[in-house]
Structure 1
Amino acid sequence: MKFDSVVLGGGIVGVSVALHLQQRGLHVALVDRRAPGNETSLGNAGLIQREGVFPYAFPRDAATLARYASNRSADVRYHPAALPALAPFLYRYWHHSRADRHARIARAYSTLIEHCVTEHRALVEMAGAQALLRTGGWIKAFRTEAALQRALAEARRAQVEYGVPYEALDRAALQAAEPALRAAFAGALRFTSADSVSDPGGLVAAYAKLFEARGGQVLTGDANTLEPAWRVTTQNGPVEASHAVIAMGPWSGEIARGFGYDLPLAVKRGYHMHYAARDGARLNQPLLDAEGGFLITPMVRGIRLTTGVELGLRDAPKTPRQLEAAEPRAREIFPLGERVDAEPWLGCRPCTPDMMPVIGPAPRHDGLWFAFGHAHHGLTLGPVTGRLIAEMVTGARPVADPHPFRADRF
């Protein structure tokens, strides 16, 4: 089977790449071991974060570092046995998080973020997936006035520097927006330019269905069989293409390593669980309890509770202690009922130490392309990443300068 391009990875990034290549007239195959949307893209908070111009930095103040070191923080936990392997990555992450470096990174990162909502809405319209999309933003709530004021300062900075709007909600306004909330938060921010979805995996599946309806092929195969230039084994037989795009999320590093690219890719693990809502309670939009270290959001399956970051090796067994710690706190603020899922879901966010994805050509192999390392913003940046890759492959003018995201920057 011969194609113009083969895309390895059926998550939001890979499916978006396949769609955009197809829109530019290429014959495309999408290859993964599972159906689209059933790995990392299944379990996120469903946010399309137009406000997310500042990528999540490594803390540099002593108080926060000490709190994380105790390994009892609500938002960050770690596996002690994994720290020796993670130490080089964490040091580089800390290095890039210095205020001046982080500001430079944000200037490049924001060129992708600014297109996230418009690019998603275009695909949603074409895929007929409007029922999964919520507009109107999401809420970040704060238990203390001090934390609220720090967040307000950052929101004002994002508004001034990048034109990102927000609304400040006092206690009464927050209660009016979410009447079922029980806790007395000091206040909140609503990021009004963001969107969210009620089924991230379902959204990816809808995009994949559009891809197939337009003549694309979704094939089951093993990305580890990729060989120049370019051939991969699938259950339907070998696939050959002029271009191959690695969009395998947390598995991308090992595929790239097979071609001699030792990219500094690590993972931030995270968990979710769904709950029924008690007594007819309704949650209108995603809500992050910033100091509680968790987010609750209305999904098709129920109220989804998502955790913060667990630092560990990608394939280590589940240790959902964060979820166990967050659940009682979540029940304090919202009337959660019984658990819907049989066990917690675990996913791995692929991260680079400079907090920016790798998007662009492989430096030493013609026709090989990288699209991974989106960390917390895989869903947010999937469609614009797909557009950027397709524009580079076809020689079109890119929607954003791809230079900051090149693979040889490390």
Structure 2
Amino acid sequence: MKTADVIVLGAGMVGVSAALHLQARGRDVVLVDRRGAGLETSFGNAGLIERSSIFPYLFPRDPAKLIKYALNLLPEAHYHLGALPSVGPWLLRYWRESAPARVAKNIAARRPLIEDSLIEHEALIQQAGCGTLLRRTGWLKLFRRPETLAAGVAEAEKLRAYDLDIDILDAKGVLAREPNLATVAGAVHYLDTAFINDPGALAKAYADLFSARGGRFVSADALTLEQEPDGRWSVAGPDGRIGAGAAVVALGPWSDLIYRRYGYDMPLGFKRGYHMHYAPQRGTKLNHPILDADNGYLLAPMARGVRLTSGAEFAPRDAPPTPVQIERCEPIARLLFPLGPALDQAPWKGARPCLPDMLPVLGEAPRHKGLWFDFGHAHHGLTLGPVSGRLLAEMMTGESPFTDPAPYSATRF
């Protein structure tokens, strides 16, 4: 049996980042994925390194809006009626964790990760030599109506307490920064957020850095993970099993396929999402990622074209795609920005792995020595991958963690 110090399962942004941080601390790491780096959930996001996302995405509590969600009338959310028996209990827990008292606790827990997220990315981007992927544009949260703009501005003002750089724009201010947009009531420009114009390429660049530094990237099925009689962990590689003293589960929405096998019952849910790319019409350009806050979709100027990303779909992880949100939002988006022809044959589908408190699971499995968890980053896998990898590597190598890891423990459920 071939050996290593650590096996990292999953080569998305979270897994690759963990592998790099462990490698930097002298560990011999094997990175395992059935495909390549950044080809699953890490491929399809909006490209934001969301330094300003101190407040988590909450379950709405406005009764009028909840009725519309229940009737599938709003484009930012969609659910499968047949999925309610499985999705409903998770949504109830999500609603409970969105209560004000719990939210305050969760904001305090996520803040250290969010505040160091861009710093950790910048270090890896410099080492990987992929700085051309990074844009320091921030992002614009657009509002169509004066009343929604007022609410958005009020939320932004709360964020100023966290030393964030924020501009409030009226209609003319928006057009000054995005001349090709239709007129809106105004926007909030979050300037601290960075943007990656090809998220899949960033994950691949990090994986290439890992390999260039001597790391082993193995094409194998993570579900072959087993604990050996001596307590070590092993996976079946193409040339036989590979054993290590520790294994990291960084499989995003598939992490439950491992942890449930060992008797852990964490409430991992899935917010599925879709995207499509469009060419901008000739002579037009989108300068920033823009969120149409009143309609729940985002446009981002990616290397491939303008990416339209959907809101959340609540359905089983592996259910067939139902991209109704893209179908609803595309006509709205065309009225906002002059989109040209679609560049994809069909919408891409992914699943955001979410815990009800919108915090990841980071740390050692309570009852299995050497089994470590690093998953459940919800809407912020791209943002939090490197900073989570740092914290995990500090815990695994006996360093003093830069922040208290207790809020992310699997024992909180």
Q: Where on the TM-score scale, by shorter chain, does this alignment land: which range?
A: over 0.9
Q: How many Å separate the matches in 1 of 2:105 and 2:43?
A: 31
Alignment correspondent of 2:100: 99
| 1:185 aligned onto 2:184 | yes
Q: How many Å separate the matches in 2 of 1:144 and 1:332?
A: 15
1:274-285 equivalences in 2 (<5 Å): 274-285=277-288
Q: How many Å separate the matches in 2 of 1:143 and 1:399?
A: 41
Contact 1:232–1:239 (Cα < 8 Å) also in 2: yes
Which digits, 9 at most, give the CA deviation of each residue in 1:112-138, with x for residues without a partner?
100111111111100011010001311
| 1:262 aligned onto 2:265 | yes
Q: 2:328 aligns with which of 321, 325, 328?
A: 325
Alignment correspondent of 1:208: 207
Query: Which residue identity does 2:36 align to in structure 1?
Result: A
Query: Aligned pairs, how many?
Result: 408
Query: Which residue identity does 2:98 align to in structure 1?
Result: S
Q: Secondary structure at the match of 1:60?
A: coil
Q: How many Å separate the matches in 1 of 2:186 and 2:379?
A: 24
Alignment correspondent of 2:411: 408
- Shift in Å at residue 397 of structure 1? 1.3
Q: Secondary structure at the match of 1:254?
A: helix
Alignment correspondent of 2:304: 301
Q: How many Å separate the matches in 2 of 1:167 and 1:272?
A: 28
Q: How many Å separate the matches in 2 of 1:117 and 1:50?
A: 6
Q: How many Å separate the matches in 1 of 2:159 and 2:366?
A: 34
Contact 2:6–2:246 (Cα < 8 Å) also in 1: yes
- Shift in Å at residue 155 of structure 1? 1.2
Contact 1:17–1:390 (Cα < 8 Å) also in 2: yes
- Shift in Å at residue 236 of structure 1? 3.1
Which digits, 9 at most, give the CA deviation of each residue in 1:158-181, with x for residues without a partner?
211x22221101111110101111
- Shift in Å at residue 373 of structure 1? 0.4
Q: How many Å separate the matches in 1 of 2:296 and 2:165?
A: 24
1:7-406 equivalences in 2 (<5 Å): 7-160=8-161, 162-181=162-181, 183-228=182-227, 229-406=232-409
- Shift in Å at residue 77 of structure 1? 0.5
Which digits, 9 at most, give the CA deviation of each residue in 1:57-83, with x for residues without a partner?
111121121111110211001000001
Q: Secondary structure at the match of 1:196?
A: strand
Q: Which runs of 5+ in 2 are unaligned?
A: none
Q: How many Å separate the matches in 1 of 2:18 and 2:158?
A: 32
Q: How many Å separate the matches in 2 of 1:288 and 1:213?
A: 37
TM-score normalized by the length of structure 2? 0.98
Q: Secondary structure at the match of 1:279?
A: coil
The alignment's C-alpha RMSD in Å is 0.8
Contact 2:8–2:29 (Cα < 8 Å) also in 1: yes
Contact 1:270–1:306 (Cα < 8 Å) also in 2: yes
Contact 2:9–2:15 (Cα < 8 Å) also in 1: yes
Which digits, 9 at most, give the CA deviation of each residue in 1:71-110, with x for residues without a partner?
0211001000001111111111100101121111111111
Query: Which residue identity does 1:274 align to in structure 2?
Result: H
Which digits, 9 at most, give the CA deviation of each residue in 1:262-304, with x for residues without a partner?
1110100000000111122111110000012110011111110
Contact 1:219–1:236 (Cα < 8 Å) also in 2: no
- Shift in Å at residue 238 of structure 1? 1.0
Contact 1:392–1:398 (Cα < 8 Å) also in 2: yes
- Shift in Å at residue 156 of structure 1? 1.2
Contact 1:296–1:303 (Cα < 8 Å) also in 2: yes
Q: How many Å separate the matches in 1 of 2:315 and 2:131?
A: 36
| 1:2 aligned onto 2:3 | yes
Q: Which moved more, 1:233-242 or 1:339-348?
A: 233-242
Q: How many Å separate the matches in 2 of 1:227 and 1:142?
A: 51
Q: How many Å separate the matches in 1 of 2:408 and 2:372?
A: 12
Q: Secondary structure at the match of 1:15?
A: helix
TM-score normalized by the length of structure 1? 0.98
Q: How many Å separate the matches in 2 of 1:225 and 1:307?
A: 33
Which digits, 9 at most, give the CA deviation of each residue in 1:1-60, with x for residues without a partner?
211101000100000000000000101010011100000000000001011111101111
Contact 2:74–2:295 (Cα < 8 Å) also in 1: no
Query: Which residue identity does 1:113 align to in structure 2?
Result: I
Contact 2:21–2:390 (Cα < 8 Å) also in 1: yes
Q: How many Å separate the matches in 2 of 1:403 and 1:110?
A: 14
Percent identical residues: 54
Query: Which residue identity does 2:134 align to in structure 1?
Result: L
Contact 1:360–1:369 (Cα < 8 Å) also in 2: yes
Query: Which residue identity does 2:171 align to in structure 1?
Result: R
Q: Which moved more, 1:211-220 or 1:58-67?
A: 58-67
Query: Which residue identity does 1:74 align to in structure 2?
Result: P
Q: Which runs of 5+ in 1 are unaligned?
A: none
Q: How many Å separate the matches in 1 of 2:356 and 2:110?
A: 14
Contact 1:4–1:27 (Cα < 8 Å) also in 2: yes
Contact 2:30–2:218 (Cα < 8 Å) also in 1: yes
Contact 1:244–1:369 (Cα < 8 Å) also in 2: yes
Q: Which moved more, 1:39-48 or 1:60-69?
A: 60-69
